[in-house]
Structure 1
Amino acid sequence: MSASERIPAAGVTAVTPDSSALVELLTHGELTVRGRIREASNAVLLCTVTLDGDTAECVYKPVKGERPLWDFPDGTLAQREVAAYLVSEATGWGLVPVTVLRDGPYGEGMVQQWIDADADADAGAGDGAGGDGALLALVDGEEAGEGWRPVAFAEVGGGRTALLVHADDERLRRLAVLDAVINNGDRKGGHLLPGGDGRLYGIDHGVSFHVEDKLRTLLWGWAGEPLTEEAVAVLGSLSGQLAEGGPLATRLAELITPAELAAVRDRVAVLLGTGTHPEPSGQWPSIPWPPV
């Protein structure tokens, strides 16, 4: 999703992004479908949701519209998106828009707060060193340059290659930690939404929480480097919340399998044990396709 894909809806009023009122609105409000985002591989519907005079835009992904995948059980992507939101909230970083599981016009599905992407921030890979606020770029040569982290070399046509880089941005670094915890198999550039409030949001977490290592991301720039003190503290808190009977474990148990929940605990333990950002395993493509 991007700002250019937005279908305007009249009469929409702002709701505080992190308020319990937004959770209530998304969970119990009346959903009205405004259009479909056709670029998505699964059914993604842009809606308005209204409750007691409050209205907001949201995304609705019905389970019935999920395309079957060879490596994930059918009809589970919506639950995984909600699980990713719960883990994000447990970190305190607020990296995933408010997401709930509920019934809708086309049956049960994921409903998520709509984020108006900042038109002045570039989440896609551009030419050169990228403009102010850019998160991804393609640069000539073998050096990422100041303020950037190298990811991989990419063919750009005409027999040319360029270095794909991402910004050395603390928000991206937090997201890289979250992706490692949830085992995100699809962190593309188009799944990064810079908000107008300066926050960065990650979306599309349906292919997460697999028991096998499926981490595919563009955020490899810190691979093998020590985790920040903040990240270690957050992971320590997550470990407690994921313990048997812990608040996060209890909620995740309603959305993912016991084996998948155990795998989340194991990944947090490994991150705390190594104290470093993970590196590509070599057993699975490390970068999603298409990357942006």
Structure 2
Amino acid sequence: MPAALELLRSGTLTVHGRITDASNAALYCSVALDGRSALCVYKPVRGERPLWDFPDGTLAGREVAAYELAAATGWSPIPPTVLREGPFGAGMVQIWVEPDPGAAPLLALQDPRAPEEGWLPIIEAEVGEGRTALLVHLDDQRLRRLAVVDAVLNNADRKGGHLLSAADGRIYGIDHGVTFAVPGKLRTLLWGWAEQSLTEEAVEMLGRLRAELAGPLGERLRPHLTEAELTAARERVDHLLSSGRHPVPSQEWPSIPWPPV
């Protein structure tokens, strides 16, 4: 991880093309330093579209803040991410994760009556001609960890396409520009554990994270977030610890991102 961060911060950034289906400017790049190189994605701040419900800071800054918080959990579910200057100005640069084509699927459509063993229900979906199916996600500890991190981040956009199974056996989450809002905005496909008790591992992590947010982690996040956003993040950790449970979908705002995948 330290080597990857050094490469991202100090390496020569070369743009190879644009990711055309991204809603904001996202550039496919490589970065090289002292004989080492890696593929990466570069999202310049100047290519961001303003969002009325995220008026403060930048998408790039929130992506970096999300990485810093996720790294502090010890689970590292977000690829190494930095804020740096690039060919089109300051922006977020993140190690590129190539999905493993042989990995088992994380999402599926199944019989609407009940999920199959090893899967958890998300929502009943219309699949055409009056038919329905149950949208489910894998009952996997790696996804469960990410669900806890998303609850702290207040992630408003955990689509299926933002979950990547990599060849190293990890499941990575990407695209965290719409995180850290002060009001609740959790929109995710990882609702399978809703209202279930948090694991002992998660409770222990959240206790450490609370202390980190009050100390060095909070200082690392401060350049990217407002004081209100930092306070809200600490309150979300406190709420998870006091309830001891995974959050449930809100009745006041959409709980599923659109499009879901």
TM tier relative to shorter chain: over 0.9
Alignment of 1:121-136 (within 5 A): 121=103, 133-136=104-107
Q: Which runs of 4+ in 1 moved over 3 A?
A: none
Deviation at 1:155, TM superposition (A): 0.9
| 1:137 matched to 2:136 | no
What are the equivalent positions in structure 2 for 1:226-237 lying under 5 Å apart? 226-237=197-208
1:63 maps to what in 2?
45
1:163 maps to 2:168: no
Partner Cα separation in structure 2 for residue 152 and residue 47 of structure 1: 37
Q: Which amino acid aligns with 1:280?
A: P
Could you say which residue in structure 2 is the equivalent of 1:279?
248
Residue 220 of structure 1 aligns to which amino acid in structure 2? W
Contact persistence 1:58–1:114 (CA under 8 A): yes
Deviations 1:223-253 (A, max 9, x none): 000000000000000011011xx11011011
**Residue of 210, 227, 232 corresponding to 1:258:** 227
The DSSP-based 3-state class of the residue aligned with 1:108 is strand
Runs of at least 5 residues in structure 2 that lack an aligned partner in the other structure: none
Q: Give 1:198's match in structure 2, choosing from 166, 169, 174.
A: 169
Equivalent runs, 1:1-292 vs 2, <5 Å: 18=1, 20-73=2-55, 76-121=58-103, 133-243=104-214, 246-292=215-261
Give the TM-score normalised by structure 1: 0.88
The Cα shift of 1:28 comes to 1.1
Which piece of structure 1 moves more, 255-264 or 133-142? 133-142
Secondary structure of the 2:184 match is coil
- Unmatched runs of 5 consecutive residues or more in structure 1: 1-17, 122-132
Q: In structure 2, what is the Cα distance between the partners aligned to 1:86 and 1:141?
A: 39
The RMSD of aligned alpha carbons is 0.8
Residue 201 of structure 1 and its aligned partner are, at CA, apart by: 0.2
| 1:158 Cα deviation from its structure 2 partner | 1.2
- Following superposition, the deviation at residue 75 of structure 1 comes to 5.5
Q: Report the Cα distance in structure 2 between the residues aligned to 1:75 and 1:266, rounded to whole angstroms.
A: 20
Q: Cα offset for 1:74?
A: 6.1
Q: CA deviation at 1:68?
A: 1.4
Superposed CA offset, 1:33-53 (max 9, x none): 001110111111010111112
Deviation at 1:70, TM superposition (A): 1.5
How far does residue 114 in structure 1 lie from its aligned partner after superposition?
0.6
Count, aligned residues: 261
What amino acid does structure 1 have at the position aligned with 2:90? E
Report the Cα distance in structure 2 between the residues aligned to 1:185 and 1:234, rounded to whole angstroms. Answer: 22
Instruction: Give the aligned residue type for 1:267.
Output: R
Contact 1:63 1:75 in 2 (8 A): no
Whole-Å Cα distance in 2 between the matches of residues 251 and 116 of structure 1? 28
**Contact 1:68 1:74 (C-alpha < 8 Å) held by counterparts:** no
Counterpart AA for 1:291: P
Code of the residue aligned with 1:54 in structure 2: it is R
Indicate the SS of the match to 1:201: strand
Q: Work out the CA distance in 1 between the residues paired with 2:201 and 2:173.
A: 19
Checking the alignment, whether the CA contact within 8 Å between 1:34 and 1:47 is kept in structure 2 is yes
Q: 1:141 Cα deviation (Å)?
A: 2.5
Higher relative contact order (CA closer than 8 Å, sequence separation 6+): 2
Q: Matched residue of 1:282: which SS?
A: coil
